[in-house]
Structure 1
C-alpha cells in the first residue's frame, strides 16, 4: 500500500508540474522552462545531498541514471516538437502510452502482480490515454505522430531506467539524472545563443522555475521511493497518472471542461488505482 501512495504522490507532483509548466510556456519558451526547471532542480538536489551528507558511496547506478536523464530529455524534446507541429489531442495520448514500456520491463525482470493488479494496470493504462483527451475525429501529419511515438519511448524508457537506478541510490540517481539533462541543454544554449533570447530573470521568473523544480523533484523523489517499496510494473502505471491530475487542475483552476472521453478516462484511472490498491 505504501508503494501505491508514494506513486500517486509522484503522479500528483508530475501533473502539477505539467500544469504549471504548460501555463508558463504560454509566455516563455518551452525550452527555457525546461532548462530553468532542470538547472535549479540540479542545484537543489546537490545542495540537499551535501547538507545531509548523503553523497553516494557506490556508483553502480551511474549509467542507469545517465540513461534515465538522456531518455527523459529525448522524450521532452520530441514531445514539445510534436506539440508544436501537431494536435495536442493526438500527440498527448500517444506519448502517454509510454507507460507500457516500464510495465513490460518490470514483467520481464521478474515482477509478478496479482490478477486484480493486472486488471487494474490495464484499466489504468486505458484511463491515462483517455484522460489525455484523444482526438476521435480528424488527424495530424506523419511527423508529429512519429515524434509522439519517440516521446512515448523516451518517457517510458526513462521510468524503466530510473527504476533500476533507484534500487541502489535514490538521491544519487536524481542528481545524476538531472545533470544528464542539464549539461546537454547548457551546451545547446552555448552553441545556439538565440535559444535564450528574451529570457528575463526577474523575481517572478525565478520563483516560477523554483516552484517547477520543487514539483519535479517531488515527482522523482516519490517515484524512486515507491520503486524501493513495490513492483516497477505497478509503480510505473500509478506514476504515469499525471495527465489525470493535470486535467483536474485545469478544471479546478482555469475552469476547463473535461471533453470527449476525458471523464471516462479519469473514472477508469481511478478504478484501476482502486483495483491495484485492493490487491496490494
Structure 2
C-alpha cells in the first residue's frame, strides 16, 4: 500500500514538473547574452558588470582589433576582425567606401537616415519603432552582437516623442562600442543600466542641436568610457566641448580619420579623440 502511494505521489510530481510553464527566457536559448550590460542592483546606484578579460576572452581575442573610420556627420564605419562592416546613422549622404553589411539609422533629420537604402545592405536597423512598435534590436552578425536602447527625441514642433531615437551598442572582440545617435536629453539611471559598459562611445558635440555641451559632458562623464569619439559637429568649435572636461580626461587630435582599437589597447585614462574630419 505504501509503495503504491509513493509511486502515485512521484508520478504526480513528475507530471506537474512537465506541465508547469517555463519562463519565457528559458524557452529560447538562442537569445544573445550581453557582456556589456550593467547590473542594476539598486537604482540609483548602478553597478557595472564585473568584466574580466582573462575569464571571458583568450589572449588572442583580447588583441583583436576593430577599425573605426569617421565618414562624416554622425556616420562611422566600424569594421570587425571577422570582416563585418557597420555604418552608423546611415543616410547615404556620407557613403562608406564599400556597401556595409549593417546600417543603423535615427530619424532626427534626413542626414541620419534613408528610407531607400541600397538593397545590397543585408541588415537595416531603424532606431525608431515601425508600425507602432518599439524599436527592439537583438541581432548577431558574424562576430558582432548589436542591440539598442531607445531614448526620446524632440520633434520639429518641439514636443518630445517617446522612444524616437536609439543608442546602438556593438559588442565585438570583447569591446562595448556605443553610438549615442541624436540624443536629445540626459539619460536616467534606467538608461545607464540598460546601456551598461561602453569602452568606446561616439558622442554628438554640436552644442545645442542635440543637447548643450554641458549636458552632453555629464552624460559622457557618467558613462566612464575609455575612448570618446566626437561627431555631429555643427557650428561651435569642438574646443567648446573639450573645455567641459578637466584633468581626468586626456584630449587629442588625430592625424587620420580612422583608428584601430582592441580591448588591450584601450587607454588607461579616458581619452577624447577627435578624428580628422570632425
Say yes or no: TM over 0.5: no
The interval holding the TM-score normalised by the smaller chain is under 0.3
Q: Which has the higher strand share?
A: 2
TM-score by length of 2: 0.25
Q: Which has the higher helix share?
A: 1
| Max Rg structure | 2
TM-score by length of 1: 0.25
